[in-house]
Amino acid sequence: MIDDTHDPALTSWVESANDPGTDFPLQNLPFGRFRGASNEPWRIGVAIGDCVLDLAAAGLIDSQDMAALLAQGASRRRALRRALSQGLRHGSAERSRFEAALRPLAQVELGLPCDIGDYSDFYAGIHHATAVGKLMRPDHPLLPNYKWVPIGYHGRASSIVPSGTPIRRPCGQIKPAEAPQPWLAATRRLDYELEMGIVIGPGNALGEPIPIAQAEDHIFGFVLLNDWSARDLQAWEYQPLGPFLAKSFATTISPWIVTLEALAPFRAPYERPAADPQPLPYLDSPHNRAHGALDITLEVWLRTPAMRVPQRLMRSNLRDLYWTVAQLVTHQTVNGCNLRPGDLLGTGTVSGPGEDQGGSLLELTAGGRRPLNLSNGETRTFLQDGDTVILRAYCVREGLRRIGFGECAGTILPAREV
C-alpha cells in the first residue's frame, strides 16, 4: 500500500533526515531499541536522520514491550507510521512534543531490535547455492529438491547479536580430506554470509498453517543478517544433519527493522525461468507473482587492521532470491509450525549471478583457491583476526526517496585457547 507517507517531496524538521544520503529519511521510519547507558532498560525508538525518536516519550506507545508492538499487526503498524510521519514533517503541530523525545544516535546504545525466540535460516539464494554446489558437485551443483522446496534449517537464537558486537573466532573439530582423523582447533576458514532477516509480527497457532495470501500480514519487517560461518568445521560436521557448531557461534543483525510498509514502493514481480518448475499451489498466489520480490541493493564491505577506510567486496540484490519472503513464511508453517512475534527467518546468502557478486568469501575466492586482492595490496581467502565485515542495504528507484537499513558490522577477535 503506497500512500502519502511515501511521498518523495516530504521533508522533516529533523534536518539530517533530509540529507539525500541518509538511510533514515522521513519515508523510512524503522523500529528498534535503544538506551542511554548500559544499566538502563531498553526503550522502543524510530530512526529519523541521525536521531532516534523515543516512542513512549512522544506519547505514541504505552509500553516498552516490543513483542506486544510486533503482535498488533499491520493495521496498527500503518496507523503508527502515519502518526510518526505527520509528527515529523515540516510544519507539524506535534513538533514540540516530538522534539522533546528526540535523542542523537551518537549518544545512545543500540541493541537487538526485539527479543528473538526462534531463528530459522533458509537457502533461498540460488546463485549462492549453485556456486557452492559447484565446489562439491561440478556436474550437478543443485540438489534435486532445490527448485521445489524452500530449503532451511533451525538456527541458534541465543547467539544472535546486534551490529557492533565483536565476533570471537570459533573452535571445533577440523578434518581435512587427507587427514586420518580430526582434531580440535580454531577455524582457519572463517567466513561471512550476506543475508536479510525477516522479523515476524503476529504469529500463528500451533497446527494452523499460514496461507500464502496471508503470509505478508505476519511480516513486520526486515533486518540485515550476517550468518558467520566456519567453513572447515562445516565441511566435517554438516553430514548428515546440516550446520551445527560452524554456524551457532554468532549471527549478527542490524539494529533497525525496516517495515514492509516502508518497502512498498520497491516491490517487484516474482519471476522464474520458464523452464523451471513452477511453485506448488500452496506457494503460489496472484499477489506473490505480481509483487512478491523486493528491489533491495545489498553490499559487503571489508576493513582490515591495515586499512583506513573499508573496501566494497561485492553488490547483489534481494530480487536474486529464488523464493519470496512470503513463500518462506508459508513453507515454514505448512506443517503446522507456530511462529511468534519477534521470530527471525534468514533468507540465506544473497549472491548475484556474476563471479564478483558472491555473498561470501567461499564464493569470491572459489573455496580459498583464488585469493581476493584488496586495494591496499593485501589478500584474503578467509577472514583474519582484526578484520571488520560491514553489510549495507538500501533501496533506490527513480522518483522515490532512497531508504536504507543502517550497518550490520562485526570485528573478528582471536580464538580463546582450548
The set of catalytic residues is: 128
Which region, left, alpha or beta, applies to residue 164 given φ > 0 means left and ψ of -120 to 50 means alpha?
left
Contacts of 343 (CB under 8 A, 6+ apart): 116, 117, 118, 119, 120, 199, 200, 203
- Pick from 18, 26, 33: which is nearest to 64 by CA? 33
Contacts of 39 (CB under 8 A, 6+ apart): none
* Cα end-to-end span (Å), the chain: 54
Is beta strand 43-48 parallel, antiparallel or unpaired with respect to 31-35?
A: antiparallel
Contacts of 346 (CB under 8 A, 6+ apart): 119, 120, 121, 122, 155, 195, 196, 197, 198, 225, 227, 251
Contacts of 298 (CB under 8 A, 6+ apart): 194, 196, 224, 315, 316, 317, 318, 350, 359, 391, 392, 393
d(CA 300, CA 102): 31
d(CA 405, CA 407): 7
Distances (CA, A) of 207 to 204, 334, 335: 8, 9, 7
